[in-house]
Each structure stands twice: as structure tokens, then as C-alpha cells.
Chains A and B, each alone.
Chain A
Amino acid sequence: QSALTQPASVSGSPGQSITISCTGTSSDVGGYNYVSWYQHHPGKAPKLIIYDVSNRPSGVSNRFSGSKSGNTASLTISGLQAEDEADYYCSSFTRSRTPVFGGGTRLTVL
């Protein structure tokens, strides 16, 4: 199972919005509405921020939103804040009933 494709890095200024893409195939992202997103500050435990494409867990800011079109899922962060600077990973259910991650995207808040 090949990793999902994410941009290596994105950046934005405080208050702006950014979008991170996550591209797979019809055997993973495109075939199921089971895409999730994780925020990872280095040295800390990763944190779930979006599940089932567009659902936010309790306690996660509504500045985080998710969507999907075809084989590509997207994470949008609006009203960027300094504490959003982190690595972001997408994950998808696959035909083999196991997960696959994206390569990760480093978000820099300028």
C-alpha cells in the first residue's frame, strides 16, 4: 500500500486560511468516507482533528474543516494561529481494511 500524497510544506500568515491536500486512489481515499487528519507537534502525541472526512471531535476548534472530492481529501485551517504550526497527516481506510498515512505536511505560520 503506497502512502497517500501530501505537500511537504505549506505556510501562511496569522489570520489567513490554508488548505492541505491528500491524494490517494479509488482503493483508499476515493473508495471510502474514512479519511482522518492528525496534528502532530514534534515530541508530543499526535492528535485527531478530523474523522470520517469532515467530522470534528469534541474540543477541536471549528477553524479546522475537512472535505473530499474524488481521490483527494483536503484539510482547511482558517484564522491561522501560531499554535497551529505543526505537522499534519491524513490517513485513510484501504481495501485491505488497514490504514495508510500520507507523507505529512509541515505547516509554518509566518
Chain B
Amino acid sequence: QVQLVESGGGVVQPGRSLRLSCAASGFTFSNFAMHWVRQAPGKGLEWVAIISFDESIKYYADSVKGRFTISRDNSKNTLYLQVNSLRPEDTAVYYCARDFGNYYFNFFDFWGQGTLVAVSS
């Protein structure tokens, strides 16, 4: 069965960096586009970034553009999110999600359980 397991979250000071990972199993990871989606405390879901199956397409939400970088290693079945210059408003649970398609957004057909990033001094 499809499994997505996020890791790498934690408490970090403003301005610092983290790298989030999402280990995928139960499907051919290299065939699917992948996303990061976040949920701040008490708030709704916010899309963060998408990467196509072959890394040729990467799009970001305006709120993270220039600070976050999405990448993937298809040989390791792993999705990454490098988060730099963290701000308190980046505090959220970060979910990885699989897209039904391989290039652009279709819909999120499977989700992980999330990893918490807390930005605080």
C-alpha cells in the first residue's frame, strides 16, 4: 500500500534552515508528481510546492518562493523540502502528498501524516 512518511521537522530559530524529507513506498515513486502542503496551527491547508516526476517542473506558493526548494531523489524514493530563512509564520505541520499525475497538479491522492516545524526564538 502507498506510504508517505515525513521527517526532519523540529524547533528552529528564525532565520535558520531545515531539510524535510518524505520517504515513499508501495508505488513507483518516479512516475508521480509530488507536493508539499502545510497547515499552520488553527489554520487550513496551504499548498507549498510541486515537483514533477522528472524534476523538470517546480512551482512554489508566493509565500515561500525564493526561500524554499523542493527536490527529489528517485533512486531513494524520497522527496525533500529545503526550508531557508525561516519565519515564525512558517510554523506548521508539513505534509507530503502524491499527485495523481506526473507533471502538473491534478489532485492529491495520498498524504503522509506530517512533520511539525516550529519557528521560535
Name A residues whose Cβ lies closer than 8 Å to a Cβ of B: 1, 3, 34, 36, 38, 40, 44-48, 51-52, 57, 87, 89, 91, 93, 96-104
Q: Report the separation of the CA atoms of residues A34 and B45 in the bound assembly, to the nearest whole angstrom.
A: 18
| Also in contact, A46 and B105, with CB within 8 A (given A98-B59, A104-B44) | no
Q: Does B68 contact A (CB under 8 A)?
A: no
Given contacts A97-B59, A98-B50, contact A91 B44 (CB under 8 A): no
Q: Which residues of A contact B111 (CB under 8 A)?
A: 45-47
- B 95-106 to A, binary, CB cutoff 8 A, 1 in contact else 0: 101001000111
Do most interface residues of chain B lie in helix, strand or loop, or is the interface mixed? strand
CB pair B95 A100 closer than 8 Å: no
- Output the least CB separation between B42 and chain A (Å): 10
Which residues of B does A touch, CB under 8 Å?
A: 4, 35, 37, 44-47, 50, 59, 61-62, 95, 97, 100, 104-114
A18 to B117, CA, bound (A): 35
B30 to chain A, nearest CB (A): 21
Contact A103 B44 (CB under 8 A): yes
Nearest residue in B to A6 (C-beta to C-beta)? B44
Contact of B45 among A48, A97, A98, A101 (CB under 8 A): A101
**Residues of chain A contacted by B35 (CB below 8 angstroms):** 99
> Please, how many angstroms separate the alpha-carbon atoms of A98 and B46 in the complex?
12
Contact A48/B105 with A98-B47, A101-B44, A101-B45 known, Cβ cut-off 8 Å? no
- The one of B44, B50, B109 in contact with A89, judged by C-beta atoms closer than 8 angstroms, is B44
Among A38, A87, A102, A103, residue most surrounded by chain B Cβ atoms (within 10 Å): A38
Query: Are A100 and B107 neighbours in the complex by a CB distance under 8 Å?
Result: no
Nearest opposing residue in chain B for A35, CB measure: B107
List the A side residues contacting B109 at CB < 8 Å: 48, 51, 57
Which residue on chain A has the smallest CB distance to residue B106?
A34
For A98, list chain B residues within 8 Å (CB): 47, 50, 59, 61, 105
